[in-house]
Amino acid sequence: MIFVKRTLTYLITLKFSNVQGIKIIVSGRFNGAPRSRSRTIEIGDVPVQSFNKNIDYAQRTAYTKNGTFGVKVWVS
């Protein structure tokens, strides 16, 4: 998670990028845990309740040998 956070922070700070913020939520059973948890990475400004900004949203399910993970991504 640290690598992803540092990479996204670097890409957002570049001048040629129009991305102002990214929010990623991954939920599922990490490392075979008995209960599911969710991890959130939020970098920059992602106003989820605002109509003034263009926000792209994607949601997918990843199937692994340990179970399924839900991945949600918001890009502002």
The whole-model pTM stands at 0.78
Separation between Cα atoms, residue 43 and residue 49, nearest integer Å: 17
How do residues 3-36 score in pLDDT, each as one tens digit? 888 888 888 787 777 788 888 999 988 777 788 8
Query: DSSP class of residue 13?
Result: H
- Residue that wins the pLDDT comparison between 43 and 31: 43
- CATH no. of 2-75: 3.30.1140.32
- Residue that wins the pLDDT comparison between 59 and 21: 59
- Write down the domain spans for the chain: 2-75
42 close to 59: Cβ distance less than 8 angstroms: no
19 close to 75: Cβ distance less than 8 angstroms: yes
Cβ-based neighbour number of residue 23 at 10 Å: 19
Separation between Cα atoms, residue 71 and residue 32, nearest integer Å: 17
Task: Please report the pLDDT score of residue 70 as a whole number.
Answer: 92
Amino acid at 43: I
Average confidence (pLDDT) over 49-73: 84
